[in-house]
Structure 1
Amino acid sequence: MSPLPSDIQLDALREVANIGCGHAVSALARLVGGRTVNLSVPRAVLATASEVAGLLGGGDAPVVAAKLGMQGQLRGVLMLVLPQEDASALESLLLRRQDAPQEERESALAETANIVASACLSAIGSLTGWRLLPTVPVLVRGEAGPVVADAVTEAQGDKRMVVLETRFSSVGIPSVSGQVLLLLDRDSSKALIARLGV
């Protein structure tokens, strides 16, 4: 079994998350009409599926998640996760109306996730010299526990994995908050650490 990342290596990964998520949140701010979107200090943690669900407020918290795979030298899953109410608020902001049909709302949310993920991976690509692209987003609604468990299994199986996580919240009415999660499989986190030279 490969050794787990050290604290110094997790710090380096946290800085990658800071850069990637910073670009992601800037892209989101433009999409919601130039509002200020605040970003928390990203975390880089080693976690199992149930621990990742804990980061989202508990296994039974209702969420809407846009899930994207990664193409290129990194393998894993990138997720844009919002509490159900915040997802509805974001859909209304994106479409500039409250009464849009469900199909339009889902399409707007998926396209937003695509733009946010592309911005994040592009920034990480600039840092590493890798060409990284997201796959087509899949929208999932449900309780945080099962939603995250599926994504973790997709990325790593049932082992602990590197999770880069940050929270964002927009200023204004309605307020929209959520999280960006990067779930990296073990080989990818090792490759990224090697690329960063730590």
Structure 2
Amino acid sequence: MSPPLPSDAQLDALREVANIGCGHGANALARLVGGRVDLSLPEVRLTSVSEGPALLGEDGPAVAVRLGMTGELRGALVLVLSPRDGEALESVLVRGQPASPEERESALAEAANIIASACLSAIGRLTGWRLLPTVPQLERGPVRPVLAGVLGDVQASPGPVVVLAARFTAAAPMSMSGTSVGGQMLLVLERGSTQALLARLGL
């Protein structure tokens, strides 16, 4: 029997978890770029593996860095950017110095690792769990197949998937000449982990 869908109170709690986790992730990104990062109010989306990519990403190419989770939560944390934003962020991370494509991708993957670690550490402090990210994987391609792969890996069985999503805009004026970099942070939770998290929060 499938677990019941979250109630309004549970959705509010998940939204607050996303706000705390993504907020700490955004702060980590701000330190990396040496500038300001603005974060949208996080959203909690219940979607299916088949329908999720259309709701979470626009058509077109994307750069995505995905990390799994170890500990009491199972799922994935994904950083999604357009190719232009991904290239701009890579330039900031290598401080505008000449770098090979491999070095630029490594810098972006490591940045995602730092962001994910900050996010999961914040959620861990809230829950008392020890949560860590797995090794980051960088993918390039049409955004919908990339996200479909993430959702399918997290939840292979039919039924809704819980996704905590927030958009961010990063600006490092000195390094980027005022150019902003935008993207999404997605926290995709396996259904059993969603129930465990809500139970841990007393809901």
Give TM class, smaller chain. Answer: over 0.9
Equivalent in 170, 183, 187 of residue 188 of structure 2: 183
Corresponding residue of 1:71: 70
Would you say the 8 A contact 1:56–1:144 is kept in 2? no
For structure 2, list consecutive stretches of 5 or more residues without a partner in the other structure.
none
Count matched residues. Answer: 196
What is the identity, as a one-letter code, of the residue corresponding to 1:179?
Q
What is the identity, as a one-letter code, of the residue corresponding to 1:94?
L
Corresponding residue of 2:167: 167
SS of 1:117's partner is helix
How far apart are the structure 1 equivalents of 2:127 and 2:15?
14
Q: Alpha-carbon deviation of 1:56? A: 4.0
What is the identity, as a one-letter code, of the residue corresponding to 2:122?
A
Q: Alpha-carbon deviation of 1:150? A: 0.5
Would you say the 8 A contact 1:23–1:119 is kept in 2? yes
Corresponding residue of 1:24: 25
TM score, norm. by length of structure 2: 0.93
Q: Alpha-carbon deviation of 1:98? A: 6.1
SS of 1:49's partner is coil
Structure-2 change in CA distance of 1:50 and 1:82 (3 Å): farther
How far apart are the structure 1 equivalents of 2:182 and 2:123?
23
Q: Alpha-carbon deviation of 1:53? A: 2.1
How far apart are the structure 1 equivalents of 2:109 and 2:179?
20
What is the identity, as a one-letter code, of the residue corresponding to 1:195?
R
TM score, norm. by length of structure 1: 0.95
**Overall identity of the aligned pairs, in %:** 61
Corresponding residue of 2:90: 91
- Deviations 1:54-93, CA, capped at 9 Å, x for gaps: 34442x3211000000000000011011111000000000
- Deviations 1:110-136, CA, capped at 9 Å, x for gaps: 100000000000000000000000000
Corresponding residue of 1:125: 124
SS of 1:176's partner is strand
Q: Which moved more, 1:156-165 or 1:145-154?
A: 156-165
Structure-2 change in CA distance of 1:50 and 1:167 (3 Å): farther
SS of 2:86's partner is helix
Corresponding residue of 2:60: 61
1:37 aligns with 2:42: no
What is the identity, as a one-letter code, of the residue corresponding to 1:113?
A
Q: CA RMSD in A?
A: 1.3
